[in-house]
Structure formats: structure tokens, C-alpha cells
Chains A and B, each alone.
Chain A
Amino acid sequence: MAEPGTDEEEFVFTDEHRALRTAVRRFCGAHRVRGPVELDGGYDARVWRRLSSELGVLGLAVPEPSGGGGGTLIDQAIAVEELGAALAAGPVVGTVLLAIPLLAAAPPHPARDQLLARLCSGEATAATVLTGSPGGLESTPVDAIVAPDEDGWTLSAALGAVPDAGAADVLLVAVPTPEGTAVVAIDTDQPGVERTPLVTLDLTRPQARVRLTDVFAHTIVEPPHADAAARSALHTAGMLLAAEQVGAGQHLLDLTVDHARTRRQFGRQIGSFQAVKHRLADMLVAVEHARSTAYHAAWALATGSDDPALAVSIAQATCSPALSRVAADTIQLHGGIGFTWEHQAHLYFKRAAADAALLGTTEAHRDRVARVALDLASADGAPPIADGLPHAAVRP
């Protein structure tokens, strides 16, 4: 796998990238990974472990000595894009999008090293709460009562809807301590951890309400590092979520094109009608625009070629509405069958709605973009922001 910071050109995939994409796609095709799976926790834990043991895709961007794949965030984005295309069930959000990037960005120490290795290998899963309000953009500590304990903290808190919390082995939570924000780890098998599964719009991605009463929590990221690690994790998660949305959007476009070529009405394939063809052309534009912004964010984070918050918000503000639109059009162009429980379209439509609220709403990301691109713009038209040119990358 290519090292970050090499002079590989933005948007150009290597043979290794392509091989990785093919491998993940094959795996998802061979195993029925798409939720909802009628199993404990909403996913098949054996399949989850095989994602790591056979493909090594859970911690692709984590260095090998820490138990990861030794690749880049671009590798990780490719894997997540394919998981998104397949609508793979499992703790992708809590573990792959948030927990692993968080721990990877934190300074090494035994507790952190051990947990990171267990998450990368699929032995354990995590749910992660880094913002005080659900769907927040910035890292803020949650509202919690934190008291010092012998080797850590005693903690009480009520957490709203936490993705993947129902089956997670560990909860990672940003909490206020006297020294500042820390990220603590809470084993979920101790008394005082009460989890209530919620019925979620997205049937493939469960959430749970969590009540913590005087539970033991140990610090996994110390206060001086926690803010930066959490911010970095939220950026990485936003980028990976965008990649997932691209995968899902492309899958729906392929599905709908296939339908438009085979379904006949009025004696013709419906794809020959301009009303249908033009809607599909617009879906193509939406998917390609989403892809460009998601890949740019992946390279920006992997090589440091752009302002990370801006690149991620551009991607999220583009990919969320793109997937929602493509999913809605998929239902429309499939006609009656597209509105049924049996057809897969509704699962993606619901995923689109859930994704759009998961790590900052579309409007919140638009606002973040507006703050730098418009509010700081001067009359000569040059906003004081990165020019977004990949060749302007500052490379180590």
C-alpha cells in the first residue's frame, strides 16, 4: 500500500487500490452483509471478524505495529465505499468511522494500543460519542458527572441515540474532567450500563439509548490530546461517511439503469423515454459530483493537501443531498415495486436520511463552508481559504 505523503496524484487510483476494491466487493457479494439481519445486535459477528481476518479492512489506515493494515485513509475510504454499496450491517460507524481513527490519532499507551488492536482485529466493537449533541460537527464533551476513582473515573451520564451502542463491547465517550476534555473507555459488561435499543429509521444501522450510573471509566485519551484526536476522528468519520454515500449512490444508479433498460411500458424500454433518461442523467451528475468531493476529502486528509474541516464539509454538504436525491429517484423510477418492503430501495432511502443527520446535518456543513467561503470573502473575490489545488499540497 502507498504511504501517505508520497507524490501520488489526487484522484488516481493504483492497482493496489483497485485490487482492494474488488476484494471487498467480492466479499460483500459472497456474504449476505446487507441488513437488517435478524441476529443479535443487527449484524453477523462472524462476518464482521472475517472482514478483518480475511480482508483486513477495519483498520486499513492504522500502522501494522498497532494492529492495522498499514495503508492510508484512501485505502480505508475505498473499503468503506464498498461496504456502503452493499449496505453492510455491523458497527461501521462506532468502530471503523469513529473509534479506530480516534485511537489512531491518540498518543500510544498500553490501554490505547490494546484496544486499538482488538478493534482492528474485529475481536471487539465500539460505540463512540465525541459530541455533546447528537449529530454535532465539533467535538464537545457530553453532559456527565465525573468523579475520580482509583485507576480512573466514576461516571454517570444519559446518552441519547448512540449508533452501534446496543452490541458494543466498549463505549468511547468525550467527558469533562478538571484537566479538560478526556476520552474515556467504558466496558459495557459492568453493572450500571443500561442500554435500550431504539427503533431506527435506518433498519440496517441500530442505535441505543445509554444510561450510565456510577460506572467505571478509564482514560483512553488524556486531556491535552483528547480535543485534537476527537476533531481528527470527526474529520475522518465525515470523509468516510461521504465515501459510504458514494458507494450507496453508485449502487442505486446501477440498479436503476438496469431496471430502465429491461422494464418495458407502452411497448418500449422505459429508459428510452426522455423523462426517465434525463432523470437518470441527473442522478449520474449527482453521483459523480459526490464522488469528486468525497475522493478529494480522502486525499486531503491522507496527504494534508487541503484544510481538513473545509474538505470534509464540502464532501458532506454534497454527498448527503446527492444520496438522498438518488435514493428518492430510485424509488420513483422503479414505480410501484420501488415502494414495497421487499425491494431494497427503501433500505437505501432510509440509510440516506440517517447518514444525512449522523455527523452534522447538510445545513450545518453548508454553514461551516459559508463561514469560510462567504463570510470571510473580500470584495476582490478571493476568500482567504486554501485554493484546493492538489498540486499545491504541502507534503512531508
Chain B
Amino acid sequence: MTDPNDATQLRAVAERVVEEHDPRSTPTPDLLTTWYDAGLTWVHFPVGLGGLGVSRGLQPEVDAVLREAGGPADVRSLNGIGFGMAAPTLVEHAQDDDLKREWLRPLAGTHHIWCQLFSEPGAGSDLAGLSTSAVRRGEDWAVTGQKVWTSVGHKARWGLLLARTDPDAPKHLGLTYFVVDMHSPGVEVRPLRQLTGQAEFNEVHLSDVRIPDRHRLGKVGGGWQVARTTLMNERSAIGKSDSRRGAGKIADAVSLWASRPDLHTPILRNRLTRLWLRAEAQRLTAERSRALATTSGPGPEASIGKLVGAELNQAIYEFCMDLLGPEGVLYDDYSPRDTLRPGADRLGPIQRRYLRSRANTIEGGTSEVLRNILGERVLGLPRDLRADAGIPWKEIPRG
């Protein structure tokens, strides 16, 4: 798919859509639904499911057309889990094409927001140890349990759910993957306030929630394999960044630096330079990963983004706070606010970004787990000792 004609043709298709539906006057959901119907939402998806069956590497071409025509600056953040995690999982694992269409089209149009129900109070990094149960009831499944860290759960129409269907099997083998209707009876979503004051996340209580078997993804007991599709997409979505030099989070630090010459010291300049260089090395690593993805499979450089990005974000905002000094201890507002509203400033002032960055090394895989993944899957080192290997889940000590 490196035929340059493809990129040209694809651009022409995208340009036709924005000509017929001016992004500046068309309501965003309508625009995005048209975008889906033209196969431009995920160009590598099959025709009829929001794609054109071409190389994934061509997506930036298409996104650029929408952006340049005045469309939403960051379409994918309007339904982040929907676009980044749910869609690739659904297209690969949903039971039939009708169902895929039924889910993907309103997802792409942002009519239906999606959330992910994996983590539990007792199962974070050890995700496969989760205890929410799903029991077969005729054509349905009955789900009971509690989930946590559910971003946009209060807005979501559909949820990606991982539940235990066989407590007698070892933990990875007893899981099954479902799509749950968040409007079903028995689903209760409670906002979970974070240390920033905001409630980006929720806890979700599930009491005897019915899910039709048709909404199961993958085999009974095969949930872990399906979840890996989702998680890999999550990390690659988190690891992505603006590809211009000096853009992204480091731009916050550089513009703060430039706006406050009164706060400059040689020591802070040295520190910011080191951060800038790390950000640049990471940017180039992401660029290399992108270039190689079009010709060969993902290499180690693809696994590094999430780990480095998270630790760099923290270091950047720690620097900003040190630059601000006494001024940094003032906070604008601890009251919860809607971060999902289109055009909303998702991050807010430096102080909130500083606080928010503590989550970066936890969400979507802790840095400890990511270092294990780099060590084991990329470098081929021996696996950690697993005290629970091969033991039926119900016999594993918990708590």
C-alpha cells in the first residue's frame, strides 16, 4: 500500500466529502457520519465498516483534509475510547457484520459514546484477576460486579466489558468479553472524583445486568485474547503525539519559559533543555515507528511511547511548577467540570496538568508493567515469577 496513487486518490475522496459537507457549517455528528459512510474514519477497516481496506499509514493524510477544511481539531478525542479502543476491537471480534455496522456508525458519528469496563478495585495491573461474574441465563448472560476507572462512563451508551465466566479455570482462561448497553437495568454509574477535583472517571456497579449472547466478543473463555487487542490499541493511542518539533506537552513548558524571563536561571535552562531533548528524541522515535509501520511490523520503538510519554509529562509539569515557584501553589478551581464537551479545555492551567500527570504512569498500564513488557516481549527476558500460574482463579488468594 505504498503506491503513492493511493494517497492521492484517498485525498481526492476526502476532499469531495468536505466540499459537499462544509465542516464549518455541518453539525459535527452529521459530518462524522458522512465521513464514516465514505470509509474515511478508519481507512484500514473493510469497505462498509468505516474504511476502504487500505494501509493504516494513510490515515494522517485523510485526517489532515478534515482538519484543514475547518473540521474538529481533534476528532478522536470526542469519543476517545470509541475511536481508539472499541472500534478496532469490534471490527475484529464482533459476531457479524450487521452488528459491527450497528455499533460502528453511531460510534463514528459520536452519537454513541463508548467506555471500557476492565479495571476493578481488586484488579488493576493484575487485570486478569478480576472478579465481576457473568453467568449464562438462557440466551443471555447475567453480570454482577464492580468496575472502576471508567472514563466517560456517565456519558457512555455502550461499554466494553471483561467478566469472569469460569472461576474454576486459571485466571486468564476463565474470562469472556462482552459489549454492555450502559442503559440496561442494573447498571449504576457513580462519578469518581480525582485528586484534580475533576471526575473524568467513574465507578460502575453492575447488578444482574442482562447481556444477550449476541453481544459477546470472541469465544466463551477467550476474553483475554480479545482484551489484548483493546489494550494494545489503547497504548498506541496514548503513545501518539503531535509530530511537529517542540509541539505537545513540551510546548507548555517552553511557552511558560518564554513568557517569564524574570524567572530564568541557568539551572532551570539546563533542566528545560534536557526535557526538550528527551521530548525531541521521543518525537523522532514516534516518527521512526510511523515510518516503519508502513513497511514492516511494529518494532521496539512502538512499545516505548507510552512509558516515556508518561514519565516525560510528569517531569515537564514538575519543571513548570518549579519555574512558577510560590505562584504555583495557587489553584484555580477544584469543582468538577465537564471535560468531554467539544472544545472544552481538557487540561486546564499548569497546576491542574501537574496534578493530572500523576495518573499518566498508572492509567493504561503502569510504568512498572510496561517495563516488564519491554523486558519480556521486546528483549526476550525470562518472565517474572507468577505465584498464581495454572491455579484455578477461585483458589488464588485475593485482597
Contacts and interface: CB of A to CB of B under 8 A. Distances in A.
Interface stretch (A31-39, A40-48, A230-238, A274-282): A274-282
A387 B245 contact: yes
A280 B258 contact: no
Contacts of A257: 379-381
A388 interface: yes
A11 B291 contact: yes
A370 B269 contact: yes
B245 A374 contact: no
Interface string A299-331: 000000000000000100110000000000000
Interface in B222-279: 243-246, 251-252, 254-255, 257-259, 269-270, 272-274, 276-278
B287 A366 contact: no
Contact of A379 (B255, B291, B375): B255
Interface string B40-61: 0000000000000000000000
Contact of A292 (B272, B284, B371): B284
Interface stretch (A66-74, A264-272, A336-344): A264-272
A282 B371 contact: yes
A288 B287 contact: no
A289 B274 CA distance: 13
Interface residues of B, number: 51
Contacts of A377: 254-255, 257-258
A288 B378 CA distance: 12
Given A274-B384, A387-B244, A389-B244, A281 B379 contact: yes
Nearest to B60: A391
A242 B295 CA distance: 25
Interface stretch (B128-136, B190-198, B213-221, B301-309): B301-309
Interface string A1-39: 000000001111000000000000000000000000000
A385 B269 CA distance: 18
B390 interface: no
Contacts of A281: 307, 370-372, 374-375, 379
Interface centre among A257, A290, A381, A390 (most CB of B within 10 A): A381
Contacts of B284: 289, 292-293, 295-296, 388
Contacts of A289: 278, 281-282, 284-285, 304, 308
A280 B381 contact: yes
Contacts of A282: 371
Interface centre among B254, B272, B378, B383 (most CB of A within 10 A): B254
A285 interface: yes
Contacts of A293: 280-281, 284
B385 interface: yes
B257 A380 contact: no
A190 interface: no
Interface string B118-139: 0000000000000000000000
A269 B382 contact: yes
Given A11-B288, A12-B295, A369 B273 contact: yes
A271 B381 contact: yes
Q: For this complex, into which size category does the number of interface residues on chain A fall? A: 35 or more
Contacts of B280: 293, 314, 318, 388
A9 B379 CA distance: 27
B376 interface: yes
Contacts of A280: 375, 379, 381
Nearest to A271: B381
B366 to A, nearest CB: 12
Contacts of B291: 9-12, 390
A261 interface: yes
A11 B292 contact: yes
Contacts of B277: 314, 317-318, 366, 369
23 contacts: A11-B291, A12-B291, A257-B381, A261-B380, A261-B382, A272-B383, A277-B371, A277-B372, A281-B370, A281-B379, A284-B304, A284-B379, A288-B304, A289-B281, A293-B281, A293-B284, A366-B270, A367-B273, A373-B254, A374-B276, A381-B246, A390-B287, A390-B291
